[in-house]
């Protein structure tokens, strides 16, 4: 078994001290369910309670029926009374069947409603937490666990509370009936139900510990599956003949799951059988006493039937109540994880964009003042004391080697990260004081690793500015601005063509996807535009065409451009060179070439590559 799958890891042991916590979280769970489906919850409680009380009533009527039948055997005058008890029992049984079906219907309806509600809450909260959380493996493990386990737990918690209520009501009735037999009968009933409870409670604790410990291994398993089944990776899997190796790693993970679970279930079966056998012996000892007292004439046949039913059913009710408490305890472990996730701080709710948000505004000034950033657990800073200013309407190019800090600076500007030192100002306003959604309405960005949404072509573009997502005029203008008109014309249904192979849509080349990402940027009414390698997948001619179009996009905006292509950099108003997280050079293209510093060295190196390629083509 893997070291991270120890069944003793981080799960609390069964203790009566945990009951207040368990029922506290159970009450919070009930509140969650009541808020989502109050009518169904009330119907579930009433149907369960009615079902429970009718079970006791049927047992009580059964005693009188048996005694009436015995009396009728000795006197024909007792026949009508026996018939009346039969009719009463028939009515109660019919009513109980109706309550049972009502309980089943409400339970099924609750399951569907709560599965949707809880998953929606999980996804809503996930959409509001800070982006940096998604770079934390611990957060991803927790998110995976709540998505895998917690969505069904709220309903199960409510079901177990309903079971406690139902069985408690039934048990109360049976206790009242058994009390006439003597306290010893109640003690036997209780003692015969407790041992299996402890066995199940211990098993639930260990299963939770196992599930929690292997959250990361489970994510690894999902990853191995995706490597073997996702179009973007399967071609290399085949070309590199690595399928058997990945499959072996997948099998290794699941074999460890199987071995651990089999060991736990085996221990549970042995403990449950041993403790259950002791409980059964105690029960049948009481059973024997009742039979002998009936033979001796101390009890009537009806009383014997009633007490045997009450003892058997009472024991089952108590066992069910203890089992419900065990399940509540187990659910509490998962619900605690869910509530801890839902209690994570968020960055607020993104307000829906409106047409007013797109009203024309002047280009802003953007200023970085002594900005530094260090990634969690990193040994050195990704950015160090960066100070630079983007003038209103200016296009500033940011260049540097891989790892120089360019993408980190962009993520700080758009609010995905918060500086560890310094501040970023837009028209003199510290963006740290703005709500995230307010900042993101002002900033448009095209990342190098842009998303390829499995939506229609129109939706891939329209989501750039949601108020105009279905505005064909705005979509056409964005398509034209990005030079994507020829691409859209070739699609079978134009803008309505579904894209991506995941759901049977048309697939595009990387360059074509990038054209759509650029069109998405043209849709956006943002005062600040950030373009992170926006033409990396385009050839030089297409790149030149795009940047001519970007000049139009810059009107009324301030632009930050990141690129490795110096032919693109030359079109910027000013250039800033980053190295090892710090600004090392700043000026126009011509000024930086004249200094013969870092920028000039990188430019000449790239230019020499182009000249060598040209000479090679001429020779061939």
pLDDT of residue 11: 42
Is residue 490 predicted with pLDDT exceeding 90? yes
Task: Give tens-digit pLDDT for 381-392.
Answer: 999 999 999 999
Show contacts of 190-194: CB within 8 Å, 24+ apart: 190/318, 191/279, 191/282, 192/279, 192/280, 192/282, 192/283, 192/315, 193/279, 193/315, 193/318, 193/319, 193/322, 194/279, 194/322
Is residue 401 predicted with pLDDT exceeding 50? yes
Is residue 4 predicted with pLDDT exceeding 50? no
- Give 133 or 232, the one with higher predicted confidence: 133
Number of other CB atoms surrounding residue 134 within 10 Å: 12
**Mean pLDDT, the chain, integer:** 79
Residue 148: band (very low, low, confident or very high) from pLDDT cuts 50, 70, 90: confident
Residue 422: band (very low, low, confident or very high) from pLDDT cuts 50, 70, 90: very high
pLDDT of residue 461: 92
pLDDT of residue 606: 77
Q: Which H, E and C letters describe 165-182, residue by residue?
A: HHHHHHHHHHHHHHCCCC
- At a CB cut-off of 8 Å and minimum separation 6, what does 381 contact? 372, 373, 374, 420, 581
Is residue 10 predicted with pLDDT exceeding 60? no
Length of the chain: 620
Is residue 9 predicted with pLDDT exceeding 80? no
How far is CA 204 from each of CA 8, 48, 144, 323, 327, rounded to the nearest angstrom? Answer: 12, 25, 20, 11, 8
Average pLDDT over residues 580-607: 90
294 vs 602: CA distance, rounded Å: 103
Dihedral of CA 562/567/571/573: which sign? positive
For the ranges 96-105, 169-178, 286-295, the maximum mean pLDDT occurs at 96-105
- Give 353 or 400, the one with higher predicted confidence: 400
* Residue in 437, 418, 426 with CA at minimum distance from that of residue 560: 426
| 1-5, 500-504, 577-581: least confident range | 1-5
Task: Give tens-digit pLDDT for 435-476.
Answer: 777 787 788 888 777 888 889 999 999 988 888 888 999 999
Residue 591: band (very low, low, confident or very high) from pLDDT cuts 50, 70, 90: very high
Starting from the edge strand earliest in sequence, which strands make up the sheet with 582-587, in order?
443-446, 528-532, 558-562, 395-399, 574-579, 582-587
pLDDT of residue 193: 66
Average pLDDT over residues 61-81: 82
Residue 89 tokens, joined: 């029992």
Q: What is the number of H-type helices and E-type strands within the chain?
A: 20, 10
Average pLDDT over residues 32-45: 81
How far is CA 232 from its chain centroid? 24
26 vs 91: CA distance, rounded Å: 36
Residue 5: band (very low, low, confident or very high) from pLDDT cuts 50, 70, 90: very low
Is residue 2 predicted with pLDDT exceeding 60? no
pLDDT of residue 593: 92
For the ranges 15-29, 119-133, 209-223, the maximum mean pLDDT occurs at 119-133
Cα(first)–Cα(last) distance of the chain, in Å?
61
pLDDT of residue 456: 93
Average pLDDT over residues 415-442: 86
Average pLDDT over residues 359-364: 71
pLDDT of residue 540: 65
* DSSP letters for 515-544: HHHHHHHHH---SEEEEESTTTTS-HHHHH
Q: What share of the chain is helix, strand, coil (3-state, %, to 5)?
A: 70, 10, 20
pLDDT of residue 199: 63
CB 311 within 8 A of CB 180: no
Which domains, from first to last, does the chain contain?
20-342 (1.20.1560.10), 360-450+526-619 (3.40.50.300)
β-pair partners for 117: none
For the ranges 479-493, 497-511, 529-543, the maximum mean pLDDT occurs at 479-493
Residue 515: band (very low, low, confident or very high) from pLDDT cuts 50, 70, 90: confident
Is residue 229 predicted with pLDDT exceeding 70? yes
Backbone conformation region of residue 563, classed left if phi is above 0, alpha if psi is from -120 to 50, else beta: beta
Is residue 51 predicted with pLDDT exceeding 80? yes
- The rounded percent of the chain whose pLDDT value lies above 70 is 83
pLDDT of residue 201: 63
Average pLDDT over residues 474-480: 91
User: Residue 277 burial by CB count (10 A; 0-12/13-18/19+): exposed, middle or buried?
Assistant: exposed
Is residue 552 predicted with pLDDT exceeding 90? no
| 81-85, 98-102, 210-214, 266-270: least confident range | 210-214
């Amino acid at each position: 078994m893997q070291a991270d799958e120890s069944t003793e890891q981080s799960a609390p042991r069964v203790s009566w001290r945990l009951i207040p916590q368990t029922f506290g979280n159970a009450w919070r769970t009930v509140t969650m369910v009541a808020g989502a489906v109050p009518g169904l919850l009330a119907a579930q409680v009433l149907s369960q309670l009615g079902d429970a009380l009718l079970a006791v009533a049927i047992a009580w009527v059964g005693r009188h029926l048996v005694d009436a039948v015995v009396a009728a055997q000795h006197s024909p005058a007792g026949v009508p009374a026996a018939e009346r008890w039969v009719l009463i029992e028939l009515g109660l049984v019919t009513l109980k069947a109706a309550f049972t079906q009502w309980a089943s219907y409400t339970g099924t309806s609750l399951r569907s409603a709560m599965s949707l509600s809880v998953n929606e809450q999980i996804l809503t909260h996930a959409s509001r937490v800070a982006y940096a959380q998604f770079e934390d493996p611990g957060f991803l493990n927790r998110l995976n666990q709540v998505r895998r386990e917690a969505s069904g737990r709220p309903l199960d918690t409510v079901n177990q509370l309903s079971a406690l209520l139902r069985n408690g009501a039934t048990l109360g009735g049976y206790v009242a009936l058994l009390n006439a037999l003597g306290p010893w009968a109640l003690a036997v009933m209780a003692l015969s139900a407790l041992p299996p409870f402890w066995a199940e409670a211990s098993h639930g604790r260990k299963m939770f510990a196992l599930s929690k410990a292997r959250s990361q291994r489970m994510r690894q398993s999902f990853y191995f599956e995706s490597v073997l089944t996702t179009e973007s990776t399967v071609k290399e899997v085949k070309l590199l003949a690595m399928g058997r190796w990945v499959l072996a790693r997948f099998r290794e993970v699941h074999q460890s799951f199987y071995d651990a679970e089999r060991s736990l279930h085996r221990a549970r079966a042995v403990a449950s059988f041993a403790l259950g056998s002791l409980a059964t012996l105690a029960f049948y000892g009481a059973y024997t006493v009742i039979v002998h007292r009936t033979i001796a004439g101390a009890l009537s046949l009806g009383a014997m039937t009633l007490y045997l039913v009450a003892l058997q059913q009472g024991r089952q009710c108590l066992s069910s109540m203890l089992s419900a408490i065990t399940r509540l305890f187990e659910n509490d472990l998962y619900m605690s994880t869910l509530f801890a996730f839902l209690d994570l701080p968020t960055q607020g709710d993104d307000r829906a964009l409106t047409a007013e948000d797109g009203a024309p505004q002047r280009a802003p000034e953007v200023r970085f003042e002594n900005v530094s950033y260090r990634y969690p657990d990193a040994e050195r800073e990704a950015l160090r004391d960066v100070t630079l200013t983007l003038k209103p309407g200016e296009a500033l190019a940011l260049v540097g080697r891989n790892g120089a800090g360019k993408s980190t600076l962009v993520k700080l500007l758009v609010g995905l990260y918060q500086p560890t030192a310094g501040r970023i100002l837009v028209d003199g306003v510290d963006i740290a004081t703005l709500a995230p959604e307010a900042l993101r309405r002002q900033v448009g960005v095209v990342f190098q690793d842009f998303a390829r949404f499995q939506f229609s072509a129109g939706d891939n573009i329209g989501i750039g500015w949601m108020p105009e997502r279905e505005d064909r005029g705005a979509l056409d203008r964005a398509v034209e601005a990005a030079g994507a008109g020829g691409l859209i014309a070739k699609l079978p249904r134009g803008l309505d063509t579904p894209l991506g192979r995941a759901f049977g849509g048309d697939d595009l080349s990387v360059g074509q996807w990038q054209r759509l990402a650029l069109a998405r940027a043209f849709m956006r009414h943002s005062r600040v535009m950030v373009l992170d390698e926006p033409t990396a997948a385009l050839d030089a001619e297409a790149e030149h065409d795009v940047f001519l179009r970007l000049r139009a996009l810059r009107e009324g905006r301030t632009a930050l451009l990141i690129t490795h292509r110096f032919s693109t950099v030359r079109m910027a108003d000013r250039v800033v060179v980053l190295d090892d997280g710090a600004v090392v050079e700043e000026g126009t293209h011509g000024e930086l070439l004249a200094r013969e510093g870092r920028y000039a060295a990188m430019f000449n190196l790239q230019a020499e590559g182009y000249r060598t390629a040209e000479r090679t083509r001429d020779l061939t």
